[in-house]
Amino acid sequence: MGVSEINGTLIWYYNICKKEVWFMSHSIVPDQGDENIDLGKFIHEFSYKRDDKEVSFGNVKFDVVFQSKQELVIGETKKSSKYEQASKWQLMYYLKVLNDAGINARGVLLYPQERKRTDVNLNDKAIKKLEVMVNDIERITNLNIPPEIESNRYCIKCGYREYCFA
Ligand code: SF4
């Protein structure tokens, strides 16, 4: 997998568990009944909620929340803030893709069920961190076997646990 094929979903998984990045990139599908990994639901919701406000840009897609001459705000609607760090980096990745194209934007994570919203802003530190993530994702996806990962707090509900702990 080349850097150009890395997308926001992989950034999201990278921030949950690096081993999942390997499974995902090798087309190994998680258990669909799984609430944590939720890939099926994730993709379904992501595509289902698409409307005319959604924008494709390169290999990423996101919702435009607000656009004026001065400002572009892109958003991701999530069911729960349980995975906020992963969601934040996913959105940050979209902001970086825009930034690389000379488009300044800021982001907002929306949690309608929790009546919560979190602002996400790109800065130099985040850009550097994303570059490290992208390079590491590329390294992981090129491994022949999944990386050894200690169990973590997401394992209990992970759709890949049978691969890891059977
Ligand atoms: S079971 Fe745990 S270690 Fe294995 S892929 Fe899932 S989160 Fe990662």
Residue 77 CA, ligand 1 centroid: distance in Å: 25
Give me the pLDDT at residue 40, please. 43
The whole domain housing 59 covers: 3-165
Among the listed residues 48, 28, 32, the one whose alpha carbon sits nearest the alpha carbon of residue 40: 32
Give me the pLDDT at residue 141, please. 94
Among 44-48, 62-66, 135-139, name the one with the lowest average pLDDT: 44-48
Residue 125 CA, ligand 1 centroid: distance in Å: 28
Nearest CA to ligand 1 atom 2: 155
Q: Considering the entire predicted model, what is its pTM?
A: 0.81
CATH number, domain with residue 121: 3.90.320.10
Q: How many domains does the chain have?
A: 1
- The region, left, alpha or beta by phi > 0 then psi within -120 to 50, assigned to residue 94 is alpha
Give me the pLDDT at residue 37, please. 47
